[in-house]
Amino acid sequence: MESHSKPTTGDASDLVLGYAYLSPFREHLVSYAPTVEQSLFVHPQYHSRSIGTGLLNAPFRLVDAGQVHHSCSVAGRDELGGPGISSGTRVRNIIAGVAVDPEGEQGGEALRRWYEKCLLVEVGRSHRVGFKRGNWEVFEIQVSIPQ
């Protein structure tokens, strides 16, 4: 995946307040090239300070502007005999799996509503795939960029 900027945040004490990044989704399968997975973390002491919103929106703006492409191998060989590489598929879908925190605000539902406010739509729930504070439930969210 190619990106031209790497948003970060921090303060003078070098405490990591949060981070966000996009990674290929099932990168070994060419048919998933237009999709990336979003990872996001905000230090618990810095929740509700717009840090998460800023970190979430930075990669979204890059995707929306067409600046994120997923390079992937395709069947066949190039002129040097190596695997064929596409010039890059424009990313159009961002997904994330978020472990439900039963100790979070409103039993973890406040986080789901925050994502929905940021235009990510819940598209499903997975059970027994991600563990957080005694709970195994994960909600799957997605946003798609119009073509």
Neighbours of 141 (CB within 10 A): 21
**pLDDT score at 85:** 47
Q: In degrees to the nearest 10, what's the CA dihedral of 49, 55, 56, 62?
A: 150
| Overall pTM surpassing 0.75 (yes/no) | no
Residue 112 has pLDDT above 60, yes or no: yes
pLDDT band of 72, cuts 50, 70, 90: low
- The tens digit of pLDDT for each residue in 17-65 reads 999 998 888 887 888 888 999 998 999 899 889 998 999 888 888 888 8
Mean pLDDT, residues 112-120? 85
**pLDDT score at 86:** 52
First to last CA, the chain: 19
Residue ranges of domains in the chain:
1-91, 93-147
Which of these, 24, 53, 22, lies nearest to 38 by C-alpha position?
A: 22
**pLDDT score at 19:** 92
Specify burial of residue 31 (Cβ count, 10 A radius: 0-12, 13-18, 19+).
Answer: exposed
Q: ∠31-28-71 over CA atoms, to 5°?
A: 75
